[in-house]
């Protein structure tokens, strides 16, 4: 065991300035291009962005949207999901996942997670299917694909579409296939903290199905075709041209940024091991058949709340994703799940903590993070003696 030399240093959870500085001129030129064109809604930026994302993701259709939340909502609308329908989804995710189901008057049927990966437990998902199930919605949480093959098997057998909540996982793969194009529909978020982040809210819906794509495109603009003739009740789910222009500059850098995150994850593993902390603190699992893009690097410890307080005091950025699973949220009390219903999710909510992982993080910063965690652990061990 090696105790890292403790060098106090503040480390933010995310430093967007570090990513922005080298591409500032390109971004400002892109924003100026849109300003000079005065074309803010749809138009050439959106068209070009969609074609570029289709090529980058290897998916037939990419539909630019206002947010990841709207991508989920639109995916379910394109599948005509509504009152009386059920959607099977994990209880542990960002609120938008189950929120989109509930907003359409359908019922989120919640299942527990696999504690090793934080992702939906596929066998529980299969068991939760009823004649009312209209979709299965796995989440690729923190940037790692859910275990999809068991879900695909039941999807094919029973004709139940899979909607992938890929909001946190752009560029991740499952058994060498890019996520977002494996199920019927994929939903991405470009919230600024994502690996590919916009300058505000933006999202994307992906599909290889021409009919679903046409339906989603129609619903994106109030079901309108041509102007002022409405076939179905849609909404305004459009991405701003300004966001598309920013994302077009950033997208070519994504692979390199993700490699930076993956290299940082590997370095954390070395540093935690060298400090004698692996096993004391649980590091994220990385099954060999999935490429993790590390939107978050989430560690686990039963002493999470104490560790969080310690890191806050030391100025080390951290965040609890997510403190309360869906089944314990007040707004979902009507679903009738009891506390204790999903023990793995409840334990993850009590034990997990994200630490800085962004691509520009330096080795010295990572050493500061690990040594701060080591100082907490060793203090606890000392106090217990
Ligand atoms: C798993 C998950 N689903 C959906 C969303 C919603 O995306 P947005 O914030 O772009 O609406 C997010 C965003 O944080 C997310 O993490």
Distance 385 CA to ligand 1 centre (A): 44
Distance 31 CA to ligand 1 centre (A): 25
Give the mutation target among 67, 87, 140, 189 for probing the ligand 1 site: most ligand atoms within 8 A of CB: 189
Phi-psi region of 232 (alpha: psi -120 to 50; beta: other; left: phi over 0): beta
Residues written for the chain: 385
Cis peptide bond prior to 284, omega within 30° of 0: no
Distance 170 CA to ligand 1 centre (A): 12
Identify whether the C-beta of residue 212 lies closer than 8 Å to the C-beta of residue 13: no
Atom of ligand 1 nearest to the CA of 189: 10
Distance 371 CA to ligand 1 centre (A): 31
* Triad 308, 191, 147: Cα angle to 5°: 75
- HSE at residue 101, side-chain half, CA atoms within 13 A, is 29
Phi-psi region of 64 (alpha: psi -120 to 50; beta: other; left: phi over 0): beta
Distance 191 CA to ligand 1 centre (A): 7
Report the pocket of ligand 1 as residue ranges, CB < 6 Å.
67-69, 72, 93-94, 96-97, 139, 165, 167-168, 189, 191, 201, 203
Give the mutation target among 72, 90, 94, 180 for probing the ligand 1 site: most ligand atoms within 8 A of CB: 94
Question: What is the pLDDT at residue 6?
Answer: 65
Distance 203 CA to ligand 1 centre (A): 9
Distance 246 CA to ligand 1 centre (A): 19
Q: Whose C-alpha lies nearest to ligand 1, atom 7?
A: 68
Question: What is the pLDDT at residue 97?
Answer: 98
Atom of ligand 1 nearest to the CA of 168: 16
Verdict on whether the full-model pTM lies above 0.95: yes
Q: What is the pLDDT along the chain (385 residues), one digit of tens a residue?
A: 455 566 679 999 999 999 999 999 999 999 999 999 999 999 999 999 999 999 999 999 999 999 999 999 999 999 999 999 999 999 999 999 999 999 999 999 999 999 999 999 999 999 999 999 999 999 999 999 999 999 999 999 999 999 999 999 999 999 999 999 999 999 999 999 999 999 999 999 999 999 999 999 999 999 999 999 999 999 999 999 999 999 999 999 999 999 999 999 999 999 999 999 988 999 999 999 999 999 999 999 999 999 999 999 999 999 999 999 999 999 999 999 999 999 999 999 999 999 999 999 999 999 999 999 999 998 876 666 5
Atom of ligand 1 nearest to the CA of 140: 1
Atom of ligand 1 nearest to the CA of 69: 11
């Amino acid at each position: 065991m090696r105790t890292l030399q403790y060098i106090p240093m503040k480390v933010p959870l995310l430093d967007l300035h570090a990513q922005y500085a080298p591409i500032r001129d390109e971004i400002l030129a892109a924003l100026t291009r849109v300003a000079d064109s005065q074309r803010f809604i749809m138009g050439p930026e959106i068209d070009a962005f969609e074609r570029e994302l289709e090529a980058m993701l290897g998916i037939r259709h990419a539909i630019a949207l206002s947010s990841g939340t709207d991508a989920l909502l639109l995916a379910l609308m394109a599948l005509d999901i509504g009152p009386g329908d059920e959607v099977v989804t994990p209880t542990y995710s960002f609120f938008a996942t189950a929120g989109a189901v509930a907003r359409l008057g359908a019922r989120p049927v919640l299942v527990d997670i696999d504690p090793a990966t934080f992702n939906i437990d596929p066998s529980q998902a299969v068991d939760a299917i009823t004649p009312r199930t209209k979709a299965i919605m796995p989440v690729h949480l923190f940037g790692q694909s859910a275990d999809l093959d068991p879900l695909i098997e039941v999807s094919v057998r029973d004709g139940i579409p899979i909607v992938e909540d890929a909001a946190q996982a752009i560029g991740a793969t499952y058994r060498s296939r890019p996520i977002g194009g494996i199920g019927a529909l994929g939903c991405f978020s470009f919230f600024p903290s994502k690996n590919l982040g916009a300058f505000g809210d933006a999202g994307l819906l992906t599909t290889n199905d021409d009919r679903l794509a046409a339906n989603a495109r129609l619903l994106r603009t109030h079901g309108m075709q041509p102007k002022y003739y409405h076939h179905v009740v849609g909404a305004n789910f459009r991405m701003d041209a300004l966001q598309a222009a920013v994302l077009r500059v950033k997208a070519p850098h994504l692979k390199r940024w993700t490699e930076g995150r993956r290299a940082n994850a590997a370095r954390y593993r070395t540093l935690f091991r060298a400090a004698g902390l692996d096993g004391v603190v649980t590091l994220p699992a990385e099954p060999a058949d999935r490429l993790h893009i590390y939107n978050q690097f989430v560690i686990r410890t039963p002493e999470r709340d104490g560790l969080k307080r310690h890191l806050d005091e030391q100025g080390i950025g951290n965040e609890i994703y997510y403190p309360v699973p869906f089944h314990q949220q007040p707004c979902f009390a009507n679903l009738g799940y009891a506390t204790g219903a999903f023990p793995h999710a409840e334990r993850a909510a009590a034990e997990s903590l994200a630490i800085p992982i962004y691509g520009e993080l330096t080795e010295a910063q990572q050493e500061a993070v690990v040594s701060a965690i080591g100082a907490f652990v060793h203090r606890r061990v000392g106090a217990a003696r």
